[in-house]
Amino acid sequence: MDQYDYSKLKSCGENVFISGNVEIRRPHLITIGSHIAIDTGFYCTVGAQLGDYIHIGPYTTIIGGAEGFLTMGHFTTIAAGSRLICVSDEHLGAGLVGPTIPDGFKDNLIKKPIFIERFASIGTNCIVYPGVTLAEGSVLGAGSLLNRNTEPWTIYVGMPARAVKHRSQLMKEKAKALGYNL
């Protein structure tokens, strides 16, 4: 199976698999830890910092361009088909919308990084808005839209996402056994 040319990245740890069928527009802005899998169809235009033990499922999209940024802590996941928006036009009518509009005619831009803290997970086909933090251990259920920060170790579902239940913190013990005292 074709693999991505890791030498293009700003830095990259050990035991990393990135499919050859990805489009990473700004690899010099991407820092990757160890024990990582990034599956086919991944499309990323922003800078990013990834910790260890991370999975990004197929056809995930991280958009926002050179001014966007995504941080993923250790033991985090994004499932297939999710869309994370780090920079967006405001869409409230202040200007013309889209990246090809010249300066002076553009809409206001919302530029806010996304943080996925350690142990947090995003289910399949989710949408995450600029500036959102998924707090430690929180989960976004499949098909949900997240436009607000989450509380730690809490599960959110729906469009827009709302908290539905708490999550066990047993993962911390498993991580400790793997050598991560988080």
Ligand X SMILES: CC(C)(COP(=O)(O)OP(=O)(O)OC[C@H]1O[C@@H](n2cnc3c(N)ncnc32)[C@H](O)[C@@H]1OP(=O)(O)O)[C@@H](O)C(=O)NCCC(=O)NCCS
- Residues in touch with ligand X (CB under 6 A): 79, 123-124, 139, 141-144, 155, 157-158, 164-165
Closest separation between CB of residue 22 and ligand X, Å? 18
Closest separation between CB of residue 155 and ligand X, Å? 5
Residue closer to ligand X, measured from CB, 40 or 124 = 124
Residue closer to ligand X, measured from CB, 22 or 139 = 139
Looking at residue 25, what DSSP letter applies? S
Residue closer to ligand X, measured from CB, 8 or 148 = 148
3-state secondary structure 51-108: CCCEEECCCCEEECHHHCEEEECCCCEECCCCEEECEEECCCCCCECCCCCCCCCECC
Residue closer to ligand X, measured from CB, 164 or 182 = 164
Residue closer to ligand X, measured from CB, 57 or 113 = 57
CA–CA–CA angle 48, 175, 62 (5° rounding): 20
Q: What's the CA dihedral at 55, 62, 119, 142 to 10 degrees?
A: -90
Which two tokens mark 147?
């436009």
Beta bridge pairs of residue 121: 77, 139
How many alpha carbons lie under 13 Å from residue 13 in its C-beta half-sphere?
15
Integer Cα distance of 80 and 98 in angstroms? 26
Closest separation between CB of residue 166 and ligand X, Å? 10
Closest separation between CB of residue 77 and ligand X, Å? 7
Closest separation between CB of residue 129 and ligand X, Å? 17
